[in-house]
Amino acid sequence: MSEAKITKVGIVGIGFIGRDHLHRLTKTIANVDVTAVCDIVPGKAQKALDDLGLEAKDYSDYHDLVKDPDVDVVVCTASNEAHYEVVMAALKEGKFTFCEKPLALDAKQCMDIIEEEKKQGRRMLQVGFMRHYAPEYVQMKKMIDDGVIGQPLMIDERHYNQTQPEEYDSTRSIIETAIHEIDLNHWLISDDYKNIRVFSPLQTRHVQNKDIKDPQIVMMETKKGINIYLQVFVRCQYGYDIKCDVIGEEGVLELPTVPQVATRLDAQYSTKILTDWKARFESAYDIEFRDFIDHVSQGNSPEGPSAWDGYIAAVTADAALVSLENDGEKQDLDFPERPEFYKD
């Protein structure tokens, strides 16, 4: 029996999610060797390595990591502003790349990435929309595709976080929070968006300054006429809470609540609400990376969310921000047909 191939991975950006993926790729995912890390903050990457008892090259410049012959695969978990440059550099070196969402800051950058990937002649990139791998969403999509509830008519959603720091402004509520549902709905119902509106209702007193708009209401309509209503509230105080109900002609699909042990105590029946989105989707992250590594370790293209999916999400998010800045004015959307390069 031949030995399993070891995939050599370099990680750019050892922040909150980068550190989490470093742990995942070294402690959970088999046949991976993290050979290099990089962070612009001096000592940050090395501290993460030390904390986990790991040894790897510690670069201060991502160009050096990308060009390292001991790096087969690049994982980009840098700040949003750096995604475009890191991904472009990795693709130009012909290396398989995993980029956390968002793929880039705007639609033009995403299209540049698409054109660069096409030069490689096959898919080289996967975008980190991990909900595609959450078993409950996978089951929901299969039921929609199988026609269990007939034609979907509406989707009712919420995306609540317990709290966020002041620097997490209204823009980030769209490009880092709502973008999950923007991508997810497009995948679930296989229909492009026709228009989007975003506006802010009465604001919570828990915002740190008057320029932050929280909560936000996002309303989308698809080309088939499916209407989507999403509440985004990133300072809800009580916990991390998501909802996804798909209402069809024949019935309704409800996203299940994460199983928690119920307590019967002191004349009360209760279950705890999670406060951490990482805990909510820990298994989805694991499945996502297993799938990605399984493909690229054999020299095969990744099959998860593509650069085109990142582009669709970016265009929609761009329009969402314009709508928010203009008091909820409806923004029309018009997408080109998905290129053959990105069709299954």
DSSP notation for 279-316: HHTHHHHHHHHHHHHHHHTTTPPP-SS-HHHHHHHHHH
Which of 1.20.58.710, 3.40.462.40, 1.10.10.60, 3.40.50.720 is the CATH number of 7-129+283-306? 3.40.50.720
Residue 277 pLDDT: 87
- Tens of pLDDT, residue by residue over 160-172, are 999 998 889 999 9
Query: Which of residues 187 and 277 earns the better pLDDT score?
Result: 187
93, 126, 128: which is closest to 18 by C-alpha?
128
- Tens of pLDDT, residue by residue over 130-140, are 999 999 999 99
Question: How many residues in the chain?
Answer: 344
Same fold, 7-129+283-306 and 132-276+311-335: no
Extents of the domains making up the chain: 7-129+283-306, 132-276+311-335
Cα of 161 vs its chain's centroid, Å:
15
Rounded to two decimals, what is the model's pTM?
0.94
Is domain 132-276+311-335 given the CATH code 1.10.3720.10 in the classification?
no
Tokens of 270: 């209760």
- Tens of pLDDT, residue by residue over 186-216, are 999 999 999 999 999 999 999 988 889 999 9
Q: Are 207 and 197 in contact (CB under 8 A)?
A: no
